[in-house]
Amino acid sequence: MNLIDYIKGLQKNDRSILSKSITLIESSLTKDKEKSVKLINHCLKQKHKSLRIGITGTPGVGKSTFIEALGQKIINDGNKVAVLAIDPSSHISNGSILGDKTRMQQLSNSTNAFIRPSPSEGHLGGVTYNTKDLITLCEAAGYNVIIIETVGVGQSEFLV
């Protein structure tokens, strides 16, 4: 896919293009790096605004359950919500994609919600290197409330 395809897809609020853009940003291939920097810079120039909410806590405390309820309230108020869920896995195991989607089942079925799990890949602090860029992409795709669920944290992680 060319850069312009990503840009046009995001403008049209196309969810599958948003997914592909996130995959591009998360790619560690050198050939993708240049394209992803250009895409992010383009999106940043548009200066979309959103409300960004970070949800953090120990593993299993109820973060996803809380977001499932809060997300539906936000949608019912007429917003579009994107949930970036950081899980403790690596790319190899594919993490808890199913886990997060089943715990936010109602929300994941809504056309006004976008849920995307990302692997933390051992990055400490509860979020990943890419989280800020993923927020920028979600904003460009028309989501005006972005919720970030951190990986389960201990006592000293507060980056989110």
Residues near ligand GTP (CB under 6 A): 57, 59-65, 103, 152
CA distance 146 to 144: 7
Q: Name the binder of 62 from ligand GTP, Mg ion, none, CB < 5-8 A by kind.
A: ligand GTP
Quick check: helix, strand or coil at residue 93? coil
Q: Name the binder of 116 from ligand GTP, Mg ion, none, CB < 5-8 A by kind.
A: none
Listed residue (136, 123, 119) closest to 50, CA to CA: 136
Residue choice 36, 50, 56, 64 for contact with Mg ion (CB under 5 A): 64
- Rounded to a whole number of angstroms, the minimum distance from the CB of residue 59 to ligand GTP is 4
| Identity of the residue, 54 or 57, whose beta carbon is nearer to ligand GTP in the bound complex | 57
Q: Is 53 exposed, middle or buried (0-12, 13-18, 19+ CB in 10 A)?
A: middle
Residues that contact Mg ion, how many (by CB under 5 A):
2
- Rounded to a whole number of angstroms, the minimum distance from the CB of residue 103 to Mg ion is 6
| Identity of the residue, 1 or 59, whose beta carbon is nearer to Mg ion in the bound complex | 59
- Is 89 near Mg ion (CB under 5 A)? no
Q: Name the binder of 78 from ligand GTP, Mg ion, none, CB < 5-8 A by kind.
A: none
Backbone angles phi, psi at 56, to 5 degrees: -135, 165
Q: Which stretch binds Mg ion (CB under 5 A): 57-65, 69-77, 115-123, 140-148?
A: 57-65
60 contacts 152 by C-beta, under 8 angstroms: yes
CA distance 148 to 84: 5
CA distance 134 to 46: 15
